[in-house]
Structure 1
């Protein structure tokens, strides 16, 4: 009873995107190769060209791009959905061994750690016209051990964000310094590029009207006040 309860608890996990491929077999015959979209102890989500019917049993060989050892599992097609240039298949794993569940958890953990390491190496872009404020923000970010690039004009900010030479982990701006045109550009990148954006408020925590609207977007963070500890919290998020 305790073992069954433990196994049930272990299977409750949010799915996490993974880089890799899934080779699918049905009744011993090769069906095709699919992109591995996400994976959990409860199942996998894959996308490819060939459609399969819900309820059919399949054997899945998962090959991770991150250096994790390949995994072999059996499951059933739970859901089929039309996707760009093909279909997406949700596969349910009815029974997994403890070793298989551990292997999935290890793969997810390694993926998360790898992404955190990659994000930590990407610089932040500070867009701030006032030299003193720009230097202060830049110094604070560097003090956390994070790389940072700063610009003073909207044209420079757009050029950096649209360029292909450098990928940025996010954008940091100050609410008080940006006109409507600048905030519209920031909104464009936050919405279309899912750019992580931090809007620093006034010392009393106030935001201008445009910044208030942007603060409701999912990829925008607003510290409660302009302080070192609040900036650190926003950067961690």
Structure 2
């Protein structure tokens, strides 16, 4: 039985993360991943961007003809935010008056209806700590759709993957992925690994049921 397509699956990645001295960096890995995912039929389109306005404008333009079923963002993150070129997108962008707010409101209207769309932040630690809980809660309620994100630093292994629907409360512990030394100033989460909770690999193209 052929699965009926209900909307486009799109990915944006941060194209500003090149390696030092002209060597390949994370941008190269994300670009290769986009090519692979599209070849496997997991994405309908993808684009490297250098700013959040560029990302949002591309998503809006790409969804004029067909609503969006899934948006993946591949880039850097921190507790409660995601970054392009080190510029954070966090809950402040959901408030009227923020320079990106109108774009986000418009993009909300381009998602498939009924709460079935998905934002997947394939970024380090965005859903970790109380800030990550607040981000997940605000994002899903603003867009009226599901969102997924990680509580750990991710790479080939991607741990602490959780998803939240609109109106739901985060079900994962606020301390998940947080090392004890974070209380004394550490600014990043634990690394992902096969024995960490809710772990997938970079080759997984779907959020597993129950995550």
TM beyond 0.5? no
Q: 1 or 2 for the larger relative contact order (CA 8 Å, sep ≥6)?
A: 2
Taking structure 2 as the reference length, what is the TM-score of the superposition? Answer: 0.41
Query: When you count helix as a share of all residues, which structure comes out higher?
Result: 1
Taking structure 1 as the reference length, what is the TM-score of the superposition? Answer: 0.37
Q: Which has the larger radius of gyration?
A: 1
